[in-house]
Structure 1
Amino acid sequence: MVGAPLVGLLAQPIVGTLSDQIWTRWGRRQPFFLAGAGLAAIALMVMPNATHLGMAVGLYWLLQLALNIGVAPARPFVGDMLPISQRTLGYSIQSFCIGLGTVVASALPWLLAQLWPTTQAEGVPLGIKLAYYIGAGLCLGGAIWTFVTVQEPPPDGDYGQPHSLDAVQSSFRLVTEMPPVMRQLGWVQVFTWIGIYTIFLYFPTAVAIDILGAPNKQSVAYAHGVEWAGLCIAVYNLLCLGFSSGIPALCRRFGRVTVHASSLLCGGVGLMSLMLMDSRYPILLAMIGIGIAWASILAIPYALLMDAVPIEKSGAYMGLFNVFVVLPQIVVSLGFGWIMGSLLGGDRTLALAIGGACMGLAALLMLRLLSIDEPNSVQVPGQSPG
């Protein structure tokens, strides 16, 4: 579980800085989209055909690197293309697309397995292989579509051809030049992602064993519980889709800081409420709060950050901002196991409750940014800025 955040910690600041400083005939962000999508497509095509564990691990690391190469310029790309008044709308649409992609990716293996059922005892089932191949095609096709249909604005200043070492040095310099808004948002992100990562690590097993009472991981009840947890994850991503579409209007009415703090509080309450549940259907109620929080997490912090940093360094700052996302994941991966065994008695719902408390703390920390809140600064479709 440490692999993905570790790659993000190293790759995103460097790629973000390079995407600020390198301008080519094809733009400055889009070449990274294409390179990342191409590498990811290769990894996805080969991964289900891996012949041994070492090959699978190598392809996993390649996939993580490719995704970080493609994702690092995506956040500043939205800011490059949109005026300040439309950035919250842009990041909300990006949040919507992430939620949609997650729902499709979650459902695709099951759907393909229904269309092409398999009885093979060994090897990767055909439905799973097809899911990887379709994912590779969509990944590469989306990058190519963006490249063909979107023209990046021309550079305002002089752009050189820096080496990766220059990008590393630049990233370290940016730490000392970090704007106050970014420092405050950074602490919000740290506690937010402690909460989110407890979901990634513990939610399926917590549902199966601690809530629904499966005796062990080898039981049929455990398999059914994990399946229900997967459905719950799909539900909160569907709710993310719905709430994302309403974020711009809510931010225009109440302000981005207030909306994000309230959303994080909803997520925290949703996670903490899992301690009280002992049957499957009430879990869906908790997913409402988590879905609201997830939609806001994917949109509002990036819109606020983009408004606070120089546009010519937005890629570098976005890459550096990702450190506040991946460091909590690394810390939780390495240290939370001891907390589970020594302090929580192995109860995963308590781990999720701690994650919820961290999201509540993130909501309180978010209130420190109320001084920059401008409720009427967000443009929504059909309205002019006012």
Structure 2
Amino acid sequence: MAATASNYQYQNNGQRQHLYNPQRSTAYIVILTLIVGALQLAWSTEFSEATPFLLSLGISKRVLSLVWLAGPLSGTIGQPIVGMLSDKCMLSYGKRRVFILIGCISTSVSLLALSHSSELVGLFTSPFDWDDRTTELAVICFACVGIYVLDFSIAIIQASSRALIVDVVPTGQQQIANAWAARMIGIFNLIGFWIGTLNLTELFPVLGDNQFKILSTLVSVPPQVKTVCYAQLFAWIGYFPLLFYTTSYVGELYLYEKGYPNPALIPPELKQDLLDQSTRVGTYALLSNSIVTLAVVTFLPMLLERIGTRSTFNEKLNLRTLWICSHVVFILCTLCTFFISSYKQAIALFAFTGIPWGGAVWIPFTLISEEISRIKDIIAIQIFYRQQSEGSSIAEDDAPEINSRNSIYCQKILIDFYDNIEYDSGILLALHNVFVSAPQMLSSFASSILFSIFHKAHDDNSYDSSLGWVFRFGGVMAIGAWYISRKVKTKEELYDMDRLMALSIDF
């Protein structure tokens, strides 16, 4: 049920929360968004190392595509639950912070357990004298469970940290805060993927021996948020292979150039070294992607901030325009896989995908955060207007100023409209994540089908092109994201729609 504007401060399960937040310093925003960056370190480890690691345990590509349902499921199920629970949390420590702490502990433990799957399973199976095949199956099952625990733990942090940014940063700084969050993602991606290119078994041999809405029916979602969510539905079908199969795609091209089109036919004495090297080469592609992503999320927000007051430029270069262009670049990159024949070409290609990925980690969150904050500002104006009309005493020092521009929101038609619009950040960001996670399940199933069609037999010594077809399928689906993202509204267009609604009462 949508939040109702009943007083200037709204009561949220015993906690009084201001609709307006004070201006935040840059240092405050940087520290706040460090949570998102640190979380990305865990993601980068999973993106670069988990697929080769699971394949090395004996999991087939078809089964692997189903294992990667963990991420979409954690987003579709876990994040909405965390969002709603944190919205209702009454702990004095803070309604988001306790969930972030729980998620951090769980993520750390699951990463350690996953990376030592064989050793941990061995401790429990050694007394039973199991044969090698049974032990291998036990290790695979343990690793699969570890992936699910890890992804659900990460989902807890992601839902809470994003909602925290919306909760504590004022409307005028939402774009800046989300830009810093995107920069943190880029910086920690660089760190994580750079670590992945190192030969860690030589540097740290002691550490190991391998490279490692339903909700939409319950709430009234703002139209702008709906549009972003629908675009994300198509975009993330394409992003899913980029996240989980890049390392393997580039690594297989590297092995192909070394004379081993089928990794299964590598001589045993060379296999581990070559597989480790192919994983490091594959991680270079993710590293190059992260460098471009960091450049995008560093300089483009600065550029938008500089031209923000120039209406002529702002009409042509804004978040909507950048998002549309990012989809076009992504579509072209995926279709270019038809022409990729070497691992160096693939690394260069995935560097270019850093452009759309930079948009993906910054623009949708900024659009939703700005819309939530915009609605909160409108609700605050309407509450203040009601209090003035009723002659109530107003104790707020930071009460909004009603002027000729925002006075339209005092019209009854707009008061009724926004009374039935949901603006709780936890719920809306959780809903958004459903539209991020659910398409990944579709992409995973589609990947499984494509692997079944194009995957080479175990003893076939020709190159396996199945991963290329998975990327191309993602690019075709991203056309839907490009089309829907053109329907996103700018701030002025949203205001004009509200003004027309207010004027319609006169006709």
TM-score category of the 2 structures, normalised to the smaller one: 0.7 to 0.9
After TM superposition, the structure 1 stretch with the greater mean CA deviation from structure 2, 238-247 or 360-369, is 360-369
Corresponding residue SS for 1:272: helix
Deviation at 1:224, TM superposition (A): 5.0
Question: In the alignment, which of 318, 327, 331 is matched to residue 255 of structure 1?
Answer: 318
Question: In the alignment, which of 420, 425, 431 is matched to residue 320 of structure 1?
Answer: 431
Distance 2:470 2:491 in 1: 33
Given that residues 100 and 241 in structure 1 are in contact (C-alpha distance below 8 angstroms), is that contact kept between their aligned partners in structure 2?
yes
Change (3 A) 1:358 1:179: same
Deviation at 1:16, TM superposition (A): 0.7
Question: In the alignment, which of 17, 33, 43 is matched to residue 84 of structure 2?
Answer: 17
**Alignment match, 1:356:** 475
**Alignment match, 2:352:** 289
Distance 2:249 2:150 in 1: 28
Distance 2:210 2:195 in 1: 9
Given that residues 247 and 285 in structure 2 are in contact (C-alpha distance below 8 angstroms), is that contact kept between their aligned partners in structure 1?
no
Given that residues 40 and 67 in structure 1 are in contact (C-alpha distance below 8 angstroms), is that contact kept between their aligned partners in structure 2?
yes
Given that residues 185 and 366 in structure 1 are in contact (C-alpha distance below 8 angstroms), is that contact kept between their aligned partners in structure 2?
yes
Question: In the alignment, which of 311, 328, 335 is matched to residue 446 of structure 2?
Answer: 335
Task: Spell out, residue by residue over 1:183-203, the C-alpha distance to the aligned partner (whole angstroms, 9 max, x if none).
Answer: 211221111111111223443
Deviation at 1:232, TM superposition (A): 0.7
Change (3 A) 1:313 1:24: same
**Alignment match, 1:200:** 243
**Alignment match, 2:327:** 264
Distance 1:224 1:111 in 2: 8
Deviation at 1:340, TM superposition (A): 4.4
Deviation at 1:242, TM superposition (A): 1.4
Change (3 A) 1:269 1:256: same
Change (3 A) 1:372 1:235: same
Corresponding residue SS for 2:443: helix
Work out which of the two has the higher radius of gyration on C-alpha atoms and give 1 or 2: 2
**Alignment match, 2:208:** 125
Given that residues 269 and 289 in structure 1 are in contact (C-alpha distance below 8 angstroms), is that contact kept between their aligned partners in structure 2?
no
Deviation at 1:108, TM superposition (A): 2.9
Written as runs of structure 1 = structure 2, the 5 A alignment for 1:95-114 is 95-108=182-195, 110=198, 112-114=200-202
Given that residues 20 and 315 in structure 1 are in contact (C-alpha distance below 8 angstroms), is that contact kept between their aligned partners in structure 2?
yes
Question: In the alignment, which of 287, 294, 299 is matched to residue 246 of structure 1?
Answer: 299
Written as runs of structure 1 = structure 2, the 5 A alignment for 1:1-386 is 1-50=68-117, 51-52=120-121, 53=139, 54-108=141-195, 110=198, 112-117=200-205, 125=208, 171=215, 173-174=217-218, 176-209=219-252, 212=256, 214-218=260-264, 219=266, 224-251=277-304, 252=308, 253=314, 254-309=317-372, 313-342=424-453, 347-369=466-488, 371-372=489-490
Distance 1:230 1:78 in 2: 30
Distance 1:66 1:201 in 2: 18
Deviation at 1:68, TM superposition (A): 1.3
> Structure 1: where are the runs of 5+ without partners?
119-123, 132-167, 378-386
Identity of aligned residues (%): 21
**Alignment match, 1:148:** none
Distance 1:205 1:62 in 2: 23
Distance 2:209 2:275 in 1: 25
Distance 1:74 1:12 in 2: 11
Distance 1:209 1:343 in 2: 15
Alignment-mate amino acid for residue 362 of structure 1: A
Deviation at 1:4, TM superposition (A): 2.3
Distance 1:87 1:350 in 2: 38
Deviation at 1:256, TM superposition (A): 0.7
Given that residues 208 and 223 in structure 1 are in contact (C-alpha distance below 8 angstroms), is that contact kept between their aligned partners in structure 2?
no
Deviation at 1:231, TM superposition (A): 0.7
Distance 1:35 1:201 in 2: 26
Deviation at 1:55, TM superposition (A): 4.5
Alignment-mate amino acid for residue 267 of structure 1: F
> Structure 2: where are the runs of 5+ without partners?
1-67, 122-138, 309-313, 377-422, 457-464, 496-507
Change (3 A) 1:24 1:237: same
After TM superposition, the structure 1 stretch with the greater mean CA deviation from structure 2, 355-364 or 209-218, is 209-218
Deviation at 1:235, TM superposition (A): 0.7
Corresponding residue SS for 1:368: coil
Distance 1:98 1:307 in 2: 20
Task: Spell out, residue by residue over 1:219-240, the C-alpha distance to the aligned partner (whole angstroms, 9 max, x if none).
Answer: 3677655432221111101211
Deviation at 1:210, TM superposition (A): 6.0
